[in-house]
Chains A and B, each alone.
Chain A
Amino acid sequence: MNIAIFSFAHMHAYSYARSLKDLPGVTLKVVADDDVERGRQAAETFGARYVRDYQDALKEPLDAVIVTSENSRHAEMTVAALQAGLHVLCEKPIATRIEDGHRMVQAAHDAKKLLQMAFPMRYNIPAARLKQQLDQGRLGRILLMNGTNHGKNPGGWFIDPVLAGGGAVMDHTVHIVDLMRWYTGSEVREVYAEIDTRFHPIGIDDTGLLTLEFENGVIAALDPSWSRPQRSFPTWGDVTLEVVGTEGVTHLDAFAQHLVLYKEIAGQAQHLGWGDDPDLRMLESFIACIRAGTPPLASGHDGLQATQVALACYESARLARPVKISQ
């Protein structure tokens, strides 16, 4: 199975490339990147061929493409790859505009190819175990959820409104909304969001506190802010979720499986994870779905639904009132 990675703009590309190396019968053939320096280096590190223009890569004998470019470029690359008859794993958020997301989903449908969204939290073992328990009715009926996906300011194109399409709310809302949708089997019906820039001197939002309501009545809150202190916080951020049901309460702390390391030269404590690697499991599943011709665990549709929530939050914050999402 031959894979190309379209752009190393998103740092997750490195983790995906490493994961591919661990999968039998899978080869990273091509790295396409318009940043010559970055692309060449990545291609060399992972033993792939470098091309500058992704269009040139489409002529190669490939089976699938991983799109890890800047958010606003997902649509163009994904649609081109699907039209060339390739399966696609696309980094979240699916796109920066809803129309783009629709085009991507349609292109996958027309080409009869896989469009999987990179929602690795569905492959995080504790989060997946909780899904199993909820499906077995362990907490009874879900009533309320409160989640966080904190982070630090990633800088670079992530804080460029055109390339990223939004700041912290765009970057971090979708992971938790996807988990919430997965757990409840319901869609977000209404959002209320307070959004601002209060942590960093940047021209994009880094602060968001979101209030959601699902079609099945579940109420939820979510904090996607880049609010963790850049240097002194011991890890990149977190994924946590409180789930309140009729029969009990569960707290999920998806990255709690870590050691704490204090190292003098690092100047800060560090968390060193020892749990299963969700990226590896996600890539494994992507390849398995291609081989078996089965649908992905998180599809383009899931990506679209989650991004729609993030975009509605921006709208709500702009209007300072709740915004309904029409399905």
Chain B
Amino acid sequence: MGFVHAQAWQAIPEAQLVGLVDTDPNLLKTLGESIGVSGFPNLDTALREVDVDIIDICLPTHLHREAAEAALAAGKHVICEKPLALSLKDARAIIDAAAAAKKQILVGHVLRFFRVYQKARQLVLDHTLGQIGTIKTFRGGSYPKGWHDWYGDPAKSGTLATDLLIHDFDFLMWCFGPVERVYAKSLAGHITGAADHVLASLRFKSGPIAHVEGTWAYPKGFSYAFEIAGADGLIHFDSADKGPIHTLLRSGSERNASVEVPESPVEISPYQAELAHFLEVITHDALPVVTAEDGYNALAVSLAVRDSIQSGEPVLLPGRTGGES
């Protein structure tokens, strides 16, 4: 994700990417050289060496809190990839640190910057679909390869429910408000390795019901899909449908070898739109489209889903920004 953000920063004329921090010196060297940005072995060194306004945290999730607190204590604004943290206690600590430092935080719930999700939300809010009954979402593909397999360690990634499904939880709450209760099942432990596949049922206080499916257990690929059904209309979208550009390239010398490349280009990528938005936010001291509380609430739903998987029982959500867990 750090690489995706670095590319997005470089496409924004008003921003200057001045440093990369990573513990992997090889990565710093190759990436740093390819994009012409200096690398630093840790945040402290970077903070000493370069003058920055924003620290953009794309670390494995278990390291978010420590880095965010250090950045805020140094008086920097913070972008933090989702999930904001692994526990509500850590998430609250980050939010409090931002308040104390009078700095802004943006949590990387990037679906809010995907045109197709924006369009879907607009059709919900302008009542094109009438009263919404059900929403079904899908997100996933093959198991993600992370640094030292941190995705496979629940103490680092929080499991698929917190890492992947949190995207859809945030999107759904953006459309339908707070969640009342959740119930969920998972294949974790029943399939090979750390792969996981979750089915979650969400009931919103405003009435709609959602089924949210997420997987790290497909043989290959990655895709996302949704369907929103209302009394007056239905919309659906599947990123796996053939997009605007679909290419088959001959590869190598084998007669039938080929690679398949689907693409759906937009002028400004969602990541670039997200980062550019944060620049606006800090320049005008405005409220971000994704507030830190939104990040907190999405985490609360993710943790409730995880609890339900463990207990086999429905889990009631406390009020928005409710009690600590």
B249 in contact (CB, < 8 A): yes
- Cβ–Cβ < 8 Å partners of B118 in chain A: 274
Q: A290 at interface (Cβ–Cβ under 8 A)?
A: no
Asked if A276 and B234 sit within 8 Å, CB to CB, the answer is: no
Q: Which residues of A contact B128 (CB under 8 A)?
A: 261, 263
A253 contacts B243, C-beta separation under 8 Å: yes
> CA separation between A129 and B262, bound complex, in Å?
12
Min CB–CB distance A176 → chain B (angstroms): 15
Classify the secondary structure of B's interface with A. Answer: mixed
What CA separation (Å) do A264 and B116 show in the bound complex? Answer: 22
Which of the residues B115, B234, B242, B266 comes within 8 Å of A251, measured between beta carbons? Answer: B242
Check A254/B250 contact, CB under 8 A, given A259-B237, A276-B267.
Answer: no
Among candidates B119, B129, B242, B244, residue contacting A254 with C-beta atoms closer than 8 Å = B244
Q: Check if A56 is an interface residue, CB within 8 A of chain B.
A: no
Across-interface contacts of B190 in A (CB, < 8 A): none
16 A-B contacts (beta carbon < 8 Å): A126-B244, A126-B265, A130-B245, A138-B249, A248-B249, A249-B247, A250-B245, A250-B247, A254-B244, A255-B244, A257-B244, A261-B233, A262-B235, A263-B232, A274-B119, A275-B266
Within the complex, the shortest CB–CB distance from A135 to chain B, in Å, comes to 14
Residues of A with C-beta under 8 A to B115: 257, 274-275
B246 at the interface (CB under 8 A from A): yes
Which residues of the other chain, B, contact A250 by a CB distance below 8 angstroms?
245-248
A253 / chain B contacts, CB cutoff of 8 Å: 242-246
Q: Which residues of A contact B248 (CB under 8 A)?
A: 248-250
Task: Specify the chain A residue showing the minimal Cβ separation from B233.
Answer: A263
A253 to B119, CA, bound (A): 20
Which residues of B approach A to under 8 Å, CB–CB? 115-116, 118-120, 123, 128-129, 232-237, 241-250, 258, 263-267
Give CA–CA (A125, B263) in the complex, Å: 11
In contact, A272 and B119 (Cβ under 8 angstroms): yes
Of chain A, the residue at the smallest CB distance from B237 is: A259
Partner of A274, one of B116, B241, B249, B263: B116
Chain B residues near A251 (CB, 8 Å)?
242, 245-247
Whole-angstrom distance between the alpha carbons of A139 and B246 in the complex? 12
Complex contact B244–A256 (CB within 8 A): yes
Among B119, B235, B245: residue with most chain A CB under 10 A? B245
Whether B242 lies near A264 (C-beta < 8 A) is no
Which chain B residue shows the least CB distance to A247?
Answer: B250
Are B234 and A262 within 8 A (Cβ)?
yes
Question: What residues of chain B lie closer than 8 Å to A292, measured between beta carbons?
Answer: none
CA distance A11 to B102 in the complex (A): 51
CB of B50, distance to nearest CB on chain A (Å): 34
Cβ contact within 8 Å between A259 and B119: yes
Q: Can you list, as one digit per residue, whether each of A113-142 has a CB less than 8 Å from chain B (1) or not (0)?
A: 000000000000110011001000011000
Q: Which residues of B contact A263 (CB under 8 A)?
A: 128-129, 232-234
Instruction: Name B228's closest neighbour in chain A (CB-CB).
Output: A259
A41 to B233, CA, bound (A): 32
Smallest CB separation, A166 vs chain B (Å): 29
Instruction: Please give, as numbers and ranges, the residues of chain A lying within 8 Å of B263 by CB-CB distance.
Output: 126, 129
CB-CB under 8 A for A129 and B232, given A253-B242, A261-B123: no
Please provide the chain A residues from 258 to 305 with a CB less than 8 Å away from any CB of chain B in the complex. 259-265, 272, 274-276, 281
Q: Which of A248, A255, A274 contacts B247 (CB 8 A)?
A: A248
Q: Which residues of B contact A325 (CB under 8 A)?
A: none
Q: Quick check: B266 and A276 within 8 Å, CB to CB?
A: yes
What B residues does A257 contact at CB under 8 A? 115-116, 243-244, 264, 266
Which residue of the partner chain A has the closest CB to B244?
A126
